[in-house]
Chain A
Amino acid sequence: MIVRILIVDDDPLIRDVLRDVLDEEPDMEVVAVAADAREAVELAERHAPMVVVLDVRMPFGGGSRAAVEILQRAPGTRILAFSAYADPGAVDEMRRAGVIDYLEKGVRNAELVAAVRRLGVQ
């Protein structure tokens, strides 16, 4: 089974490399890439991805608001927060918004891939 993924990050360098890292995996496919929270909700609704890799601090509402709206419109989506901020406040806010896993930017690619795969097969 192919894990269909939506990437959301306002940093173009991170967006591009995330896409390449995940697309490299034979069992994964990046179906859409969004640059802010608003676009994330639209694309999630349109593409119905299984996993969203979601940045936390972004324009138009940030990751927590995007997570809440994505889960309202596509309840089966599983969201992985991928953020430069790992302080307890940010993690807690994302968890309360319905995010299943939280990774700090800077983890090894293998760890990120494993986390996405874990969410994809749940």
Chain B
Amino acid sequence: MQPDAWRDSDLFRLLVLGVRDYGIFMLDPGGHIVSWNAGAERINGYTAEEIIGRHFSTFYPPEDVQSGKPDWELRVARAEGALEDEGWRVRKDGTRFWANVIITALYGDDGELRGFGKVTRDMTERRRAEQQLTDRRRLLAHLVEAQERERQRIAWDVHDDTIQAMVAVDMRLQLLAGKLPDEYRQAVDQLDSAVRATISRLRNLVFRVRPPGIERQGLRNSLAVYLADTAMVGEIHYSLEREPADDAAITIFRICQEALTNVRKHARASSAAITLSTVDRGFLVRVTDDGVGLPDLDPNAGHFGLIEMRERAEASGGWCTVTAREGGGTVVEFWLPDVRP
């Protein structure tokens, strides 16, 4: 069958009439509806009998009709051959839906305008899903930011208040120890040691908790500085095609930090490597070490901050997995999507 013959055929007419996902109908040159299909009925709510003969501005909200949008769209389609638009349209029952509309001017062999073909898609669901995704991303960015602000506040409080008080207590204990008879002195010395150990732990806490300054020095340097401070031999392989956004960078840093803390504490590793690469429009990060491996790799077991790492990754729409490395050591691997356009 030749294309022309096919277009004219009943089969083609039946196909158009039967399509349910798209409203496909024709307008005369003045914008009145001359044909209707099942999709148009489903989307707009009118039956063919109700709508044929009426002007297509019926589908537009009052503000668009007042501004002359329907006629303007026909003028553009006539001048340029076709027009695509996204916007609100009104159903028979008065409710609105978000539509993608393509209007195509149809000319006869004689060059005369015969009318317009109009294809309408209901995009309401897709738009809602997109908006939910945008809202979720915005919420996540706020959450990460608020979390970092809170960590900064905690770090300052511990550093400027708690540690200072402990330092004063420690100085006082040393003073006291020098004045006491020998039998008490040992007890005070022990107390002094305990206080000093606590100060040291609090300093570690401050170091871990405070924001790493990624906005000043970039993700790669922040990781390098952290790695150097853990006293492990480390290397960073950085081949990201694009620097991550602020919240993604913080999430990457925090998961790496958790992973390094784990391997140092529990796996007794002496060296670690962090590899960052761009995969599937996102950031793939692997933290590997040469330790004895983590005794329990079940992330649901609640040990070693594995849950925290996984939760952070999943909250960002990614994943995190911890496995034993061949030949010893542990691999923490996670991926976060790059949600920017």
Contacts and interface: CB of A to CB of B under 8 A. Distances in A.
Interface of A: 11, 13-14, 16-18, 20-21, 24, 57, 84, 105-106, 108-109
A11 B172 CA distance: 14
Interface in B156-203: 159-160, 163-165, 167-172, 174-175, 178, 196, 199
B164 A11 contact: yes
Contacts of A105: 163-164, 167
Contacts of A106: 163, 167, 170, 196, 199
A14 B175 CA distance: 13
Contacts, number: 42
Given A11-B168, A106-B163, 18 more contacts: A11-B164, A11-B165, A14-B168, A16-B168, A17-B168, A17-B171, A17-B172, A18-B171, A20-B172, A20-B175, A21-B171, A84-B167, A105-B163, A105-B164, A106-B170, A106-B196, A108-B174, A109-B174
24 contacts: A11-B168, A13-B164, A13-B165, A13-B168, A13-B169, A14-B164, A14-B171, A16-B168, A17-B171, A20-B175, A21-B174, A21-B175, A24-B175, A24-B178, A57-B160, A84-B159, A84-B163, A84-B164, A105-B163, A105-B164, A106-B170, A108-B174, A109-B171, A109-B174
Nearest to B192: A108
Interface of B: 159-160, 163-165, 167-172, 174-175, 178, 196, 199
Contacts of B170: 106
A109 B178 CA distance: 11
Contacts of A108: 174
Contacts of B199: 106
